[in-house]
Amino acid sequence: MSKIAVLGTGMVGDTIGSKLIELGHQVMVGSRTKNNEKVEAFVAKHDGKASGGTFAEACAFGEIIFNCTSGAGSIEALKSASEQNLNGKILIDIANPLDFSKGMPPSLSVLNTTSLGEEIQKAFPDLKVVKALNTMWCGLMVNPALINGGDHSTFVSGNDTAAKDSVKTILKSFGWADKNILDLGDITTARGTEMYLPLWLRIWGATQNGAFNIKIVS
Amino acid sequence: MSKIAVLGTGMVGDTIGSKLIELGHQVMVGSRTKNNEKVEAFVAKHDGKASGGTFAEACAFGEIIFNCTSGAGSIEALKSASEQNLNGKILIDIANPLDFSKGMPPSLSVLNTTSLGEEIQKAFPDLKVVKALNTMWCGLMVNPALINGGDHSTFVSGNDTAAKDSVKTILKSFGWADKNILDLGDITTARGTEMYLPLWLRIWGATQNGAFNIKIVS
């Protein structure tokens, strides 16, 4: 079992953090402010099995860090955590750089010849960034069996093979079958999974059901 | 059976044109120049069952037009066809705005708050643009049964419901099951399917197999 930091107190952070606690990990939830109401509610809900702190405190605590902040605030959040709390650690980047300023559904603020995953990796060269799980509703991230008997696809992107292996192990503990985890390659391949979001948003819009995923068939 | 124009003499145009001929449609292939070698080879291969001409001649001939040109050249090709040959007709836009100038795999030249489908619709307001089939290798477009028993997903985007119904009928004649054709909505939803291309390219890169597609599962 690991010490894991979960950055972000929204629905994604709550879902990931709760699953990690269920699996027996030690979890510290990080937010901008120390006495954040959502963090306190999360800690209370988990009956003392979780703790809360600033982004810096959570990153100092965690051996592995989940980035569940909104994409627009991710780099700022990590900067406030300070580099010595990040270096050498694995960051699982679930965030998407959604831009709500140009109408709905949102567009992307970072894309095409770069990606949020790459921008985080560039800003923190000694952090082992692995983009993962950003292509679906958070309920499926930690419980793929909710649909199609768990048989659908998820992706990992990152420069460090050992870090990707560790992330795959976590994904398997969430219920993902090995055959459904596709390693796309280095962190530049995060462009692919982040740019899928506009299609995800339109499928959701057309079907009015967020509990879907794609399965690669060949 | 319909008179159909196929614009573009690459692999996609060849594949679509050949399938349409096999289904009994009258096909004219359009290219920039009248006596194009690829067009002549296509006509010869189909034993007189196809004809060839300029973009303008093909669009004048066709009741329905398939845009199989490269995305970078699509609007120019349609401009050279002249508006009176396009107005009121259905254009099935298969092209993707791939940009090969910024390294491989290609990025997109038009994206995020617009799409090639939308740009074509804006340039030709009386054309009924339906984005379709641009999310897969052309071999699967006309033969979905090649993989997974034909059970995988395809999309349509467009402003004209009757035009989308006509396109769905063509897709069904290609072998697509009704349940696997998802109408995403108006032409702005082409942003979704065009921006999926970067993920398509990375899946292809990771698996070294272009004969794949995604199936939406829920």
Span A149-175, mean pLDDT? 98
For residue B86, what pLDDT is reported?
Answer: 97
Residues of B in contact with A102 (CB under 8 A): 113
Confidence check: pLDDT of A12 > 90? yes
Give the whole-angstrom CA distance, residue A182 versus residue A63: 24
> For B38-82, what is each residue's pLDDT tens digit?
999 999 999 888 999 999 999 999 999 999 999 999 999 999 999
CB–CB of A216 and B212 under 8 A? yes
Domain boundaries, chain A: 3-207
Confidence of residue A175 (pLDDT cuts 50, 70, 90): very high
Contacts 24+ apart (CB under 8 A), B116-120: B116/B71, B116/B74, B116/B190, B116/B194, B117/B93, B117/B157, B117/B158, B117/B187, B117/B190, B117/B194, B118/B187, B118/B188, B118/B190, B118/B191, B119/B75, B120/B67, B120/B74, B120/B75, B120/B78, B120/B91, B120/B93
Confidence of residue A179 (pLDDT cuts 50, 70, 90): very high
Confidence check: pLDDT of B188 > 90? yes
CA-nearest residue to A203 within chain B is: B184
Is B216 an interface residue toward A (CB < 8 Å)?
A: yes
CATH topology of domain B3-207: Rossmann fold (3.40.50)
Q: What does the block give as tokens for A39?
A: 């963090």
Confidence of residue A28 (pLDDT cuts 50, 70, 90): very high
Look up the pTM and report it: 0.97
Confidence of residue B34 (pLDDT cuts 50, 70, 90): confident
The rounded percent of chain A whose pLDDT value lies above 90 is 96
> For A80-112, what is each residue's pLDDT tens digit?
999 999 999 999 999 999 999 999 999 999 999
Q: Which of B113, B185, B214 sits opposite A214 (nearest CB)?
A: B214
Is A192 an interface residue toward B (CB < 8 Å)?
A: yes
From the CA of A205, how many Å to the nearest CA of chain B? 8
Query: H-helix or E-strand containing A195?
Result: helix A190-195
CB–CB of A217 and B215 under 8 A? yes
Q: Which of B183, B192, B215 sits opposite A201 (nearest CB)?
A: B192
Work out the mean pLDDT of chain A and round it to a whole number.
97
CB–CB of A218 and B209 under 8 A? yes
Confidence check: pLDDT of A48 > 90? no
For residue B47, what pLDDT is reported?
Answer: 86
Instruction: Give CA separation, B158 vs A144, A170, B102, B128, B185, in Å.
Output: 32, 41, 30, 8, 6
- Positive or negative, the Cα torsion across B15, B17, B18, B19? positive
